[in-house]
Amino acid sequence: MDTRTNTIAGWTLAACGAALGLSIVGGMIYHGERPEKMGYPIEGVQEAGAAGAVAEVPIATLLASADPAKGAEVFKKCAACHTINQGGANGVGPNLYATVGEAVAQGKGGYPFSEALKSVGGSWDFDKLNAWLTSPRKFANGTKMTFAGLGNAQDRANVILYLNQQGSNVPLPAAPAAGAPDKSASPAENAVEADPRAATGDLANTGTPAAGAPSVDPNAAKEAAKRGE
């Protein structure tokens, strides 16, 4: 091998070594790991679920304005697995005629409910149906139902009202009155504690007499004391 060939081979090897070294150094300088929380916080903006988040509207309130005709349209998503007519056959899922008010995971012509749903107990009231339709897997972890749920609260209210009209006709719950005080709040939040000084009008400990009380002239009192009155 002549000198020229050795020189070319040497320069090639040196170039490869330099490239490898730069790659290693660059990786050390710019190395970073995926942060636990992506993005950057924006001042004044709160995360979903944090304090100040919009409270969920009670199902009783939504039922008051629900539309069963729209519920029938929503139910079309369920029709692939469920029948709803009286005496309808069970399919992938049970027949849903007269479901509202029935015991959870019982009856339905011997339909084989999952143990997860059987363990819930109770009856299919409006709150349970709302929770079930929101997320079946969250409501009964291990359920055989593969439907992901209805994310729209008004859609749930519409289809629940439609279900109720199919052989159940359970009376709807009363919607909470607008502006009604929260009964779960502490007494300090719902009432002002009576101050005994209010009876005398002396709320600032100033000696001010209560409204309507007769005023007393201090000089006249002294004169009366001298006279023995």
| CATH number (domain holding residue 110) | 1.10.760.10
Domain tally, the chain: 1
Does residue 119 contact residue 140 with C-beta atoms inside 8 Å? Answer: yes
142 token code pair: 């291990």
Does residue 144 form part of some domain?
yes
Is residue 70, in this structure, part of any structural domain at all? yes
- 120 or 222, greater pLDDT: 120
Tell me the per-residue pLDDT of 72-94, one tens digit each, with 9 for 90 and over: 999 999 999 999 999 999 999 99
Q: Is 13 inside any structural domain? A: no
- Which tokens in the block code for residue 46? 């709160």
pLDDT at 216: 52
Could you report the per-residue pLDDT of 175-187, keeping only the tens digit for each? 887 665 544 344 4
State phi, psi for 159 to the nearest 5 degrees: -75, -30
Model pTM above 0.95: no
Q: Is 114 within the bounds of a domain?
A: yes
In a domain, 68, yes or no: yes
Position 217 in a domain: no
Answer yes or no: is 65 within a domain: yes
What integer pLDDT is reported at residue 227 of this predicted model?
Answer: 59
Structural domain that includes position 146: 59-164
Is 14 within the bounds of a domain?
Answer: no
Q: Torsion over CA of 73, 74, 77 and 80, rounded to 10 degrees?
A: -60
Alpha helices in the chain (DSSP H): 3-30, 59-64, 68-75, 115-118, 126-134, 136-139, 153-164, 187-190, 218-226
Q: Kindly state the average pLDDT of the residues 59-82.
A: 96
Question: CB of 75 within 8 A of CB of 159?
Answer: yes
Calculate mean pLDDT across residues 19-48.
Answer: 55
18 by DSSP, 3-state: which? helix
